[in-house]
Amino acid sequence: MNKLLVVSVLLAVLALSAEGFRMPRQAEDEEQGTLTMFSNTIKSYYSDAVNTISDYVETIKGLKVEEKVRNLYSETTTILSTYNSIVQDQLYHLFTGQQ
C-alpha cells in the first residue's frame, strides 16, 4: 500500500511539473514592410561589422603589438640619442676648431 501511495504521489508531482514545461504557441510570422526589412538588414550588417572588428581587435591584442611598439620606441630613442650626441660632438669640433 505504501508503494502505491509513493508511486501515485510521484506521478502527480511529475504530471504537475510537466505542465509547467509547455511551450507557448508561436504566432504566425507577420508580413514585414519594406522599411522594417531595410532596417533589419542594416542592423544585421552593422552587428556583423562590429563583431568582425571586435574579433580583429582581440587578435591584435593577442599578438601583443602594444608591447612590441613600446620596445621599438625605446630602442629607437636610445639609438637616436646616441647618434645625436655624436653629431653634436662633431659639429662642436667643426665650428670651434683646434686651439
* Residue with more model confidence, 87 or 10: 87
* pTM higher than the cut 0.85: no
Give residue 28's pLDDT.
57
The gap from C-alpha 49 to its chain's centroid, in whole angstroms, comes to 12
Cβ-based neighbours of 40, under 8 Å, separated by 6 or more = 32
Burial group, residue 97, by CB count within 10 angstroms (0-12, 13-18, 19+) = exposed
Domain ranges of the chain: 64-99
Give residue 60's pLDDT.
79
Chain segment 23-59, per-residue pLDDT in tens:
666 655 567 788 888 888 899 999 899 999 888 888 8
**Is 81 a residue whose pLDDT tops 90?**
yes
Q: CA quadruple 33, 38, 41, 42: dihedral positive or negative?
A: negative
What nine digits make up the cell of 75? 630602442
